[in-house]
Amino acid sequence: ELPITPIKGQMLELGWPEEIPPLAFSLISEKYIVMTRERKSCLVGATFERDFSSAEADLERAKREILPKILSYFPVLKEAPLLSCRAAFRAYAPNRLPLVGKISDKLYYFTGLGSKGLLYHAWIAKMVARAMLTKDPSHLPNELYHH
């Protein structure tokens, strides 16, 4: 019964050009570039698809939506070999904020982080833990609490 929508996100894995040192940190603009662990390839993405007909990766759509934006600020990847295309889903709430709530004394939920989950997860997790330990849901922020 939660008001969340699945959003399909796709990313591409590109081979890293040998003549360029690996990035020391990720680059984020409209789309992101993240080095893989072995630093011989990078992940670029992601799409934000509300309308989709399949959970499978759609290589042509991913390339069309991701590559022009990546190449606009990092053109050295233009000739990078395409290694893979992956798709997954994230939960998205209508107000673009995560949802938290209490189902029972021992069961709370924390969902709808969307693509901004890294910004919110630790802060909200502390509040959810406090609410659970004190058995007091007033520790949950009103903006996120779904009754």
- Confidence (pLDDT) at 147: 66
- Confidence (pLDDT) at 118: 66
Q: Rounded to whole angstroms, how far apart are CA atoms 41 and 48?
A: 22
Please compute Rg for the chain using Cα positions: 19
pLDDT in tens, 11-61: 999 999 999 999 999 998 889 999 999 999 999 999 999 999 999 999 999
Q: Rounded to whole angstroms, how far apart are CA atoms 64 and 62?
A: 5
pLDDT in tens, 60-118: 999 999 999 999 999 999 999 999 999 999 888 877 788 888 888 888 888 888 766 76
Q: Rounded to whole angstroms, how far apart are CA atoms 25 and 113?
A: 23
